[in-house]
Structure 1
C-alpha cells in the first residue's frame, strides 16, 4: 500500500494535476470505511482484491499462516456504494485472477481495475485524473461560458440583446447593474445552435442530463425550467389517460391536483394523517395505502410526497413493492428531498427504493436557481416519445439558459462535495437544535412529536435539516414572532402553523447564520413574556366524495356563490352543491375542495373559520365579489348535464 501511494503521489507531482489530487493509504477495510465517512474530500477509492485484516491478534483468525479475510473486496465495494455512491471505485487485481474478478465486477458499480504486477503508476494516475475531470465536467455550463466569451453580436431574441437595451438608460440601467452583466449575456435563445435545445436535446443539454442521471441514480434525467409543479403535470399526463385511476396523497402539492384535471384522471384520494396539536400534516398511513392498492388494483399510478414540507418521509420500499405487484407505477414527489442521494443519513432515495419516477426541486435544497428542477426516470416501460410530447406541451420554447446552467452546476457540486456539505449541514442542524432548546422557551420538535398517531408504527423518518420549532411558550403569536424576527433581527423563516415555525437548513447554511438565529431567540426568550392562549387553526375536514370527474367539473362555467352574506352570516345553502374549483388554504397547501367534490356543512364551517382566523391564511381559489368571499360551483343545469362519476368512468373505459 505504501508503494502504491508513493507511486501515485510521484505521478501526481510530475503530471498535470488541476484538482490537486493527493493519496491516502489505509491498511484495513474498517480504516477505509472510516476515512470515507469522515473525509468528505475523498473522490475515488482503489480497493485491493485481497482485503486482509492486518490488525488481528496473532494466531487468531489465520488460515495457512496468513491473516483471514476481513471482508471481500466485493463486500467493501458494496459498503462504499451504500455510503457514498458518487465515488469512483477501482479494484487492484492480480493478472492471474483477471477472468474471475472481471466477471464479478461487470455487474457492479466499479469504474475499472488495475493489474497489481504492472505498477504503472503514471498510467493509473492519468485514468484517475481523467475520470475525476469527467465527473467534474459541466457540459452545458462550460459551453454557455464559452459562447458568452465569444462576444457574438446578437441579431436574435431576447430583446435586451445581451443587456444593450438597458445600458445607458436612465430608467433601466440600475436593473442591469443590480443583476450583473453576465445574467444578461447568458440570457440567450434557441437561435444559438451550439447551446442545444431543451425541447429536443441532441448535444450538450443531453450530455448534461446524462451526467445528472448517473449522479442521481436514474436511468434517464430531464431538466425542467418550470419547477416541479410542471414536472409533476408532465409525468401524470404521460402516464394517465382520461378515465385512468390515480391513487394520490391528499397532501400532495396542488400541482398534482392540477394534473388530475389536465389528465382526466379518476382520483382516489387518500387522507393524510394529521397532527392537530401542531397543525401539521403527515404521510398517509401505510394501512390506508395498502388497502387502497388492493381495492384499486386497476389503478394506473400512485403518487406520494416524500419528504413532506415538514421533513417526514415514508418507508417507501414496502409501499412500492405492493404497488408494483399490481402493475401500478409509482411517482414520488421529492421536491424537498433532492439532496438525499449524497449522504447515507438521508437514504434510500425514492429511486433506490424502487420508484418509477421522482421529481425534485433542485432549487429548494441545492444550488440551482428558482424554478430549476429535475425529472428522474427508472420506469422499465418508459415511453420516451409520449413523455417528450407531454414535456414539450408544458415547457416554454424560450427556456432560461442560466437556469439550465445552474442545474448542471448544482449536479457537479453535489457529486464532488455534496457529502461534505451535507455532513456539515447535519452538524449545524444538531447544533441549531441544541441552541434553540437551550433558550428554555423555544423547543425543536422531535420525530415522535411530529408524527400523527396513525403513522407512529409505519417506519416514518425525519429529515433532520428541517426544524419545526414550538413557539407556544414565547408569549407571541406566530404572526407577531415572524414579524419580530424579520423586522428586528433580519431573519426570514420558511413557514409556520398556528404554534410552530419551520427552519430550513441547506448546504448554504452557515455557522454565522446559526449564531444570529440563536442570539435572536435567546433575546426574545429573556423577555420573559407569559405564554398566551394560541388559537388553533381549524382542522381540515376529511375528504367527502366526488360527484363528477374533476376535469368535467372544472371545465364547466359554474357560478360564483358567496360563503357569507352581507350580514356576515354563513351561507348554508352551499351544502350539497358541487365545487368547480380547487380551494387550497396556504399554508399548508392541502386542497379542501377539488373540482367535482361535494360540499358539506363541515367544509363550509372550516372555510369560514379560516376567513375569520387570526392566523393569516391564503385561500387559493376563493374569489372576492366586492367584499364577499365566493367559490365557483356548478349550476344546477350543469350538474344535470354531467354524467355521474361511475357512469363517466364506464363511458371512458369503453372508448
Structure 2
C-alpha cells in the first residue's frame, strides 16, 4: 500500500503563521520584518511568525498552509484599494472562515463612504493605520485575538478547580471517587476509569463552573466562542444528545400544536417531538436507491410542493447530511420555505465538521437555516451525548428558548461533556482545516485501495444518488465511505462480522450489500493500513451466492386517521402480527396504529402513531420477521415471543377525525 508521505508530519501544536497580504513589496517587507523582530523580543507562547504574501498567492496559501491562523490585509491608501480588500477578505472567508483577519489602511478609512463603516468592523477583527509604527501594540493585539480563539474557558476552569483539590461535601455521592478508590469490590472500576473521570464529575453546587441551565460566566463564554466558530448568532450546549436538541427546537416553534413538514426518514427524536407537542405532520417520502437499499433525501420538488400546499405549516425539518453522507443543496429549499413564512430546522447531526473545510461547505447555517442541531460527538473530538444547537432565527425568543431547553435538560449535567464541547470547538478553529485535509487525503487512499481489489467498490456520489434526485445537486460528504460488497458473495452484515471477528475492525453500519466506514479526526495511518489489509484479504476469499441479495422496499405510506398524539395516548388494544398470516391481516388492516414501528436497517418508520395499517404493511412486517436476514423492529410488543401491534380501540378510532397525509 502506498505510504501517506508527509501526512503524519503534523506541525508543532504551538506554531502560528500570520500572513500579511499585500502587493506592495516594500511595505510588506518592512512590516513583516518589524513584526517578526517584535515577536522574537516578546513572550510568544503560540509561536507566532509573520510572512509576506501577495494577493495572487493568498488563496493557494490558504488551501495549503495548515499553520496559518491570521491574515493582515493591506487596504492601501485609496477607497478603490479598500473595496478590493473587502472583496479579498470575503473570498478568504469562503476558504477559511475561522482565521482572524485584520485590515491595514490609511486615509481611505475616513474617506470611505463617509467614514469607517460598520461593515468594516464585521469583516475585520481589528483595524490598523498604515502609518502605525507601534509594532509592540500590534503584535500583542494580534496575539490576544489568537489567544481568545484558542481559549477553552469552561475546560480550563474545570481543570483549575479539580487541581485546587477542594474537599467535597456535595453531590455526586462518589465524592471525587473517594467512595470507590479503596474498595475491595469496586476499586478496580476506579482504576479502570481513571482519577479525573471522578474528580471532574461535579455538580451545580460548584458555582465557579457556572450553570448550563442559566449560564452567565464560563459556560456562557464557551457558548459564545462556539457561535463564532460555527457561524451562528447563538449556540447552546447540550449534554444529552441531538435527540434532545431536535425536541427543544420543535417545541420552540410548534409547542402546543401546529403543522410540521418533515422527511418520513427523519430521526426518531422528531417523531417523538410530534407526539409530545400534538403536532400535525406532513410526511415527505424519502427516495430509495433500489440497488443498495439506501434511502436518500427527499426530492426538492416534493419539498417545495409541500410548502406550497401547506401555507399554515410552521416548520420544515430536513436531515442533511444523511447517515450515508448525502447532502441537500439547501439554499434554494430554505429560501423557498422562508418565502412561505416557514421556519427551517436542519438536523446536521452527522455534519458538525462541515464548516471547517472548503470542500465541505456551505453548511446549513451558511444557507440560511433558522436552527441547526449537531451531534458534536459524532464527527468531532467530544464525548458521546455532546451536542449543540445553533440559532440564527431573526425572530428568536431567547427567554422562551431557555425555558424549552430547561424542560429537557438535566439539572445535573455531566461537566466532562461540557468541557469536551469547549475543547472540540477549540480544535476545529485552530487546526480543523488541517485535520480535515488529512482526513480527505486518507479518504482518497482508502477509495483507491478498495477499488483496486476488483471485488469491493467504494461508492461515489453518483452511485448513491437515486435517479429521481439526479437534478437536485445532491452532494456527498466524502468522510463517509460506503463500500459495495456484492461481488464478494457475502452480505454487508457478514462482511461486518468478518471484519470484527478476524481483523478487530468495527465499522459504522451495514446494509444487505454495503458496509460504511467513517473517516474522522481520530483516523490514523495505522488504522487505514489495517483496514485496507483486511479488505484485500477478504477480497481474496469471494464465494458464489445462489440467490442474490436484494433490499426490501418500504411499503407506501397510507394516511393519518388522527393526530399521532391522539393515537399514542388513546385507549388501545394489542393484536397479533403473525397469527397464521392471513388471519392477522384481516384483523389489522384498516386499524389505526398507536406506536412507531421502525425496522433497522434502514431505520425509517413503516408505521407512525395515527397511521392506518394496510395489507402491504402487514405483509412487509411478516416477511421481515420470517426472513433469514437479521432485522431489528422497534415498536413491536412481544407477548410470550409473539409479536403484537398496539392499535387504537375501534370506538375511539371511529370518533377521531380522519386526515389525509399529503
TM-score, with length taken from structure 2: 0.93
Stretch deviating more after TM superposition (115-124 or 387-396): 115-124
Q: 1:99 to 1:170 in 2, by over 3 A?
A: farther
Say if 2:45 is the partner of 1:18.
yes
Aligned to 2:177: 163
User: How far apart are 1:645 and its partner, in Å?
Assistant: 4.3
Residue 26 of structure 2 is aligned to residue 7 of structure 1: no
Contact 1:570 1:608 in 2 (8 A): no
Tell me whether 1:398 sits opposite 2:412 in the alignment: yes
1:162-181 aligned within 5 A: 162-181=176-195
- The yes-or-no answer on 1:76 pairing with 2:103 is no
1:7 Cα shift? Answer: 1.0
Q: After alignment, is 93-102 or 487-496 more displaced? A: 93-102
> 1:411 — aligned with what?
425
Residue 64 (structure 2) aligned to one of 38, 52, 69: 38
Give distance in 2, aligned partners of 1:107 and 1:584: 51
Shift of 1:475: 2.2
Aligned to 2:147: 133
**Superposition pairs for residues 357-372 of structure 1, below 5 Å?**
357-372=371-386
Look up the match of 2:649. 635
Q: Is 1:489 aligned to residue 503 of structure 2? A: yes
Which residue of structure 1 aligns with residue 97 of structure 2? Answer: 85
**Structure 2 counterpart of 1:619:** 633
Q: Secondary structure at the match of 1:432?
A: helix
Distance in 2 (alpha carbons) for counterparts of 1:99 and 1:161: 63
**CA deviation after TM superposition for structure 1 residue 340, in Å:** 0.7
Residues 239-318 of structure 1 correspond to what in structure 2 (within 5 A)? 239-318=253-332
Of 350-359 and 243-252, the range deviating more from structure 2:
243-252
From 456, 465, 470, the counterpart of 2:470: 456
Per-residue displacement from partner, 1:300-330 (whole Å, max 9, x unpaired)? 0100000000000111111111100111000
Q: Give the 3 Å change call, closer, same or farther, for CA 439–71 of structure 1 in structure 2.
A: farther
Deviates more, 1:17-26 or 1:79-88: 17-26
1:300-449 maps to which residues of 2 (within 5 A)? 300-449=314-463
In 2 relative to 1, CA 388–313 (structure 1 residues): closer, same or farther, beyond 3 Å? same
What's the CA shift for 1:105?
Answer: 4.3
Q: 1:596 aligns with which of 600, 610, 621?
A: 610
Contact 2:356–2:433 under 8 Å retained in 1: yes
Q: Secondary structure at the match of 1:165?
A: helix
Give the CA deviation at 1:69. 7.5
More divergent stretch after superposition (547-556 vs 93-102): 93-102
TM-score by length of 1: 0.93
Between the two proteins, the alignment pairs up a number of residues equal to 630
Q: Unpaired runs of 5+ in structure 2?
A: 1-27
Asked whether the equivalents of residues 485 and 513 of structure 2 are also in contact (C-alpha less than 8 Å), the reply is: yes
1:187 matched to 2:214: no
Deviation per residue, 1:84-132 (Å, 9 max, x gap): 1110000111246444273274364210121121222211110110110
Question: What are structure 1's unaligned runs of at least 5 residues?
Answer: 53-67, 647-655
Q: Say whether the 8 Å CA contact 1:498–1:534 is kept in structure 2.
A: no
Distance in 1, matches of 2:144 and 2:365, equals 28
| Distance in structure 2 (CA, Å) of the matches to 1:485 and 1:532 | 23
Kindly state the Cα deviation for residue 72 of structure 1 after the two structures are TM-superposed: 1.5
| Equivalent position to 1:205, from 219, 233, 239 | 219
3-state DSSP of counterpart to 2:361: coil
How far apart, CA to CA, are the structure 1 residues paired with 2:490 and 2:371? 43
Pick the aligned partner of 2:106 from 78, 94, 103: 94
Out of 157, 161, 166, the position equivalent to 1:147 is 161
CA deviations on 1:524-569 (whole Å, 9 max, x unpaired) are 1112433553322321112110001001111124122111126897
For residues 56-77 of structure 1, the C-alpha deviation after alignment (integer angstroms, 9 at most, x for no partner) is xxxxxxxxxxxx9799111210
Map residues 495-644 of structure 1 onto 2, 5 A cutoff: 495-530=509-544, 533-565=547-579, 571-644=585-658
Distance 1:533 1:184 in 2: 54
The aligned counterpart of 2:16 is: none
Distance 1:107 1:23 in 2: 23
* Distance (Å, rounded) in 2 between the aligned partners of 1:401 and 1:369: 11
Farther-moved stretch of structure 1 (431-440 vs 614-623): 614-623
* Distance in structure 1 (CA, Å) of the matches to 2:37 and 2:314: 58
| Inter-partner Cα distance in structure 2 for 1:505 and 1:557 | 47
Provide the rounded CA distance (Å) in 2 between the counterparts of 1:524 and 1:279: 23
Asked if 2 retains the 8 angstrom alpha-carbon contact of 1:538 and 1:610, the reply is no
* TM-aligned CA deviation for residue 522 of structure 1: 0.4
